[in-house]
Amino acid sequence: MTVIAITGSTGHVGRRVADQLADLSPTLVVRDTAKAPRIEGSPVVVTDYTEASNSVHALEGVDVLFMVSAAESKFRRVQHRTFIEAAAAAGVSHIVYTSFFGADPDAVFTLGRDHADAEATIRASGMHFTLLRDNFYSDLLPYFADDSGVIRGPAGDGRVAAVARADVADVAAVILRDPVPHAGVTYELTGPEALTLDDVAARAGAVIGRTLSYAPETVDEAYASRAHYGAEQWQLDAWVSTYTAIADGQTDRVTDHVERVSGHRARSIEDALLPHR
């Protein structure tokens, strides 16, 4: 039997993937066993993306690995490389990685550059791979709003074809069950339509029961309005470039890849948010 390992099973995407594959008893790779979901027959192994030797040991015997990208960090590229190289050293045959829609060394969204680096490491690893380039998550966009319900940023009139996290999980689960047909393929996962942030505010606000609005900023204003958080420069750049990527047209293209792989139409922003009612 093919051994599947799932990282990020304590998070939204990884947990949904693990639940959908429960009949296959996937190995759950976690940092804290206390937070691991309880799936009958599924072994739990502990490691961290920064721990090369522990990761090799944890992944020994694994055939197919679902790797959810690491949390935002200035050390993220090193973490990704360490874990990907450990997977290859452990003998993993196929890796499925959650990347970003605009992954490129020169991506406008600065964290998209981190994903490009991870993709390059995967391609050089010798493992078979499938890349899931996720657009921004539709079910998280309304929570960009501040305490007064305003989403502020330099997105202009740009549009975002945001994807539901549930759709990402559904696609991943299908691929993990039968990875061979998806080897070497990059899927660009989007929602069914491209929305302006005015659209996001109006439609998401109606679902979550909160009055939301969008207030355009200049790039300088965006940095100034976030200065009080005391965040490091890389984090500020990531926050601001979320919006400039939308303004630049980097996120507005709609694909049919969710439907093509999962067999169902991509969820609308309303569908994505309904569980949060």
Q: How far apart are CA 99 and CA 189, in angstroms?
A: 10
Strand positions, DSSP E, 2-103: 4-7, 27-30, 44-46, 64-67, 94-100
Looking at the chain, the whole-number percentage of residues with pLDDT higher than 70 is 99
Q: Is the pLDDT of residue 253 over 60?
A: yes
**Residue located via tokens 């942030």:** 197
**SS3 state at 249:** coil
- pLDDT tens, residue by residue, 34-54: 889 999 999 999 999 999 999
pLDDT, position 1: 81
Q: What is the pLDDT of residues 106-165, one digit of tens each?
A: 999 999 999 999 999 999 999 999 999 999 999 999 999 999 999 999 999 999 999 999
What kind and span of H or E run contains 130? strand 128-134
Question: How many C-alpha atoms does 63 have within 13 Å on its Cβ side?
Answer: 11
Tens digits of per-residue pLDDT, 47-93? 999 999 999 999 999 999 999 999 999 999 999 999 999 999 999 99
With bands split at pLDDT 50, 70 and 90, how would you rate the model's confidence at 277?
Answer: very low
| H or E element that contains 188 | strand 185-189
Contact (Cβ atoms closer than 8 angstroms) between residue 114 and residue 76: yes
The tokens for 234 are 């890389």
pLDDT per position as a tens digit, 214-223 = 999 999 999 9
In the 3-class helix/strand/coil scheme, how is 208-230 assigned residue by residue? HCCCCEEEECCHHHHHHHHHHHC
Instruction: Grade residue 8 by pLDDT with cuts at 50, 70 and 90.
Output: very high
**Is 84 within 8 Å of 67 (Cβ atoms)?**
yes
Instruction: Give CA–CA dist 175/172, Å, rounded.
Output: 5
